Amino acid sequence: MSQASGAALLMQCLVDQGVEFVFGYPGGAVLPIYDELFGDERLRHILVRHEAGAAHAAEGYARATGKPGVVLVTSGPGATNAVTGIADAFMDSIPLVVITGQVPTALIGTDAFQEADTVGITRHCTKHNYLVKDPADLVATVEEAFRIATTGRPGPVVIDIPKDVQIAIPSESKAPTKPGSHRYAPQMVAPADQIAEAIEMIAGAERPIFYTGGGVINSGPRASELLRKLQDLTNAPVTSTLMGLGAFPDTHPDWLGMLGMHGTYEANMAMNKSDVMVCIGARFDDRVTGRLDAFSPESKKIHIDIDRSSINKNVGVDLGIIGDCATVLEQLIEAWGSNKGKDLGEWKARIAGWRARECLAYPEKSKADPSAIMPQKAVERLYEMTRDRSPIISTEVGQHQMWAAQYYGFAEPNKWLTSGGLGTMGYGLPAAIGAQLGNPDTLVIDIAGEASIQMNIQELGTASQYRLPVKVFILNNEYMGMVRQWQELTYESRYSNSYSDSLPDFVALAEAYGWKGIRIENGDELDAGIEAMMAHDGPVIVDCHVAKDANCFPMIPSGAAHTEMLLYGDQVGGTMDDEAKALV
């Protein structure tokens, strides 16, 4: 039997799993692991500035590479600081393995220094978690943790390791435990009769629609290819959730744009009027469905998802298919055979009519400040000027996130990193760092807001340390814009605490961290600013001042149906009844 300590065994496991990067921050309860990391060339440790940054960076790495992100933090505050990122990964199905130090086993439960019940705290925001009490269990636990994190519906797994277990050598008497093979076997392949039924429904549809989500991305690049192939066979239009952008090319004539609260008019109208809806790897989230009792009333619904609990959770469906997106798409393509499908000419014509509303049109000038840059314009220019380089775009959360989703186009999967389910401000910068590490030659841009960026601004230092040329493009409107927009809609423009007061000088801040800072204040500086950003081979913050009064449209207000969208120019001020106010 080897004389390796728990910490050394852990290192070996991580290497065996093919881990390249560990995002972490040292502390008392992980010192033995950090000592093993010292001088170990096989793993690269990325020292973040705050454990929240570690978790989001690991998410960004995972999302952009398809590989699991690994986090290493200490006990107590180290673990609790990582919880937001863990919860974020749980909501968005991002594979993470989070290793947390714990106080020595003898001290567990004594309120020891930096003790927190990490397993208890993370129980409901992880796919699974472990407290390892014996180094002999470590190898099997890590192996199973990676398997659980990366297969089925991906998600975060926490392994809590007490300090004494990191130091101890496994006793020879105890045989190492083997991961239970009886448990955890996600269903990948769909039964043939369900595939046949789905084909019959799709082929017989007069107004079909594909509604795709993050599951297509999670299933791997092949799923995106297969989606394109199935669309080509069936000719049906495609819309996607926020998390699914990039699975289907934005330049395709049958691409409807994103659906949901800030989705396009054509996507939401097509959802509402469709007769057969094929949901692939999405979960009928409230941001997508609008008012449930008015959600796509005439359609037969097919739902393909690897997680059986997603099926019939919010919306009852006619055919639930449990399986992996890529596998099921392949089955559908094969079963389609020489089917022709119905003539969709009339359906496409109706869609063209909805498209003609040009729902993403926005006023050229701000009412309050005619010289200000419209934020939509800034994102459009950013897209036009950077698209050739096929960049990875991350975002924070708020108006800028929706504008990025609406006005930046995505043609490939794994290029779009955003916090969809949990909606975590402060996600974008660390996620961009993780993505850049996994894709050193790719242009990585965090489209940010001036409020969100401050939530993990300390990670500027991480990018400096590792010479990562990430770009942060701040749409600075001096407001927590989405909060302000809702206050306009719901609370008669009483802007309670949504003004971004005492902002830092972002250019000076960038320079203080060794970044380049660029300020864009009016329209004629926009293109030059973006060019200068791309021309610099190091990290850059662009502080792009935009119209303070611009809002994010189209919008389905709280409690409204897909057909009740507000477009730019609609009267939106005022108040709402309590039922609508109570909706998130």
Partner 1 sequence: MKIKSAESERHVLTVMVDNEPGILAKITGLFTARGYNIDSLTVADITEDHAVSRITIVTNGPPAVIDQIEAQLERLVPVHKVTDLTTAGPHVERELALIKVAGTGDKRVEALRIAELFRANVVDTTTASFVFELTGSPDKVDSFIALMRELGLVSVGRSGVVGMMRGAEEV
Nearest residue (CB) to partner 1, 147 versus 350? 147
Nearest residue (CB) to partner 1, 322 versus 552? 322
Contact 566, 547 (CB under 8 A): no
Q: How far apart are CA 575 and CA 578, in angstroms?
A: 9
Closest approach of Cβ 421 to partner 1, in Å?
15
Question: Which pair of structure tokens corresponds to residue 311?
Answer: 């099926």
Closest approach of Cβ 313 to partner 1, in Å?
6
Q: Which of 21, 36, 51, 261 is catalytic?
A: 51
DSSP 308: G
Q: Which of 91, 261, 482, 534 is catalytic?
A: 482
Q: How many residues in the chain?
A: 584
Q: How far apart are CA 215 and CA 308, in angstroms?
A: 13
113 is catalytic: yes
Closest approach of Cβ 578 to partner 1, in Å?
4
Question: Which pair of structure tokens corresponds to residue 568?
Answer: 């730019």
Q: In the chain, how long is the greatest CA-to-CA distance?
A: 78
Q: Which of 12, 20, 67, 114 is catalytic?
A: 114
- Omega before 554 cis (within 30°)? yes
Contacts with partner 1 by CB under 8 A lie at 119-120, 123-124, 127-129, 131, 148, 180, 182-184, 307-309, 311-313, 316, 577-579, 582
Closest approach of Cβ 130 to partner 1, in Å?
9
Q: Facing residues of 161 across strands?
A: 101
Q: How far apart are CA 373 and CA 522, in angstroms?
A: 6
Nearest residue (CB) to partner 1, 182 versus 571? 182
Strands 156-162 and 128-131: parallel
Radius of gyration of the chain (CA): 24
51 is catalytic: yes
Q: How far apart are CA 441 and CA 474, in angstroms?
A: 22
Closest approach of Cβ 325 to partner 1, in Å?
18
Question: Which pair of structure tokens corresponds to residue 153?
Answer: 């519906």
Nearest residue (CB) to partner 1, 80 versus 464? 80
Closest approach of Cβ 212 to partner 1, in Å?
22
Strands of the 471-476 sheet, one edge to the other: 416-417, 392-395, 444-449, 471-476, 540-545, 516-520
Give SS3 for 56.
helix
Q: Which of 17, 59, 163, 565 is catalytic?
A: 163
The CA-atom distances, in angstroms, between 94 and each of 135, 205, 439 are 27, 34, 17
E strand or H helix that includes residue 353: helix 345-355
Query: At CA 515, angle to CA 512 and CA 516, rounded to 5?
Result: 110
163 is catalytic: yes
Contact 515, 539 (CB under 8 A): yes
The CA-atom distances, in angstroms, between 369 and each of 366, 542, 546 are 5, 21, 10
Nearest residue (CB) to partner 1, 295 versus 479? 295
Closest approach of Cβ 456 to partner 1, in Å?
26
Nearest residue (CB) to partner 1, 129 versus 456? 129
Nearest residue (CB) to partner 1, 104 versus 538? 104
Nearest residue (CB) to partner 1, 441 versus 577? 577
Query: At CA 420, angle to CA 419 and CA 426, rounded to 5?
Result: 25
Closest approach of Cβ 186 to partner 1, in Å?
10
Residues tagged active-site:
51, 113-114, 163, 482
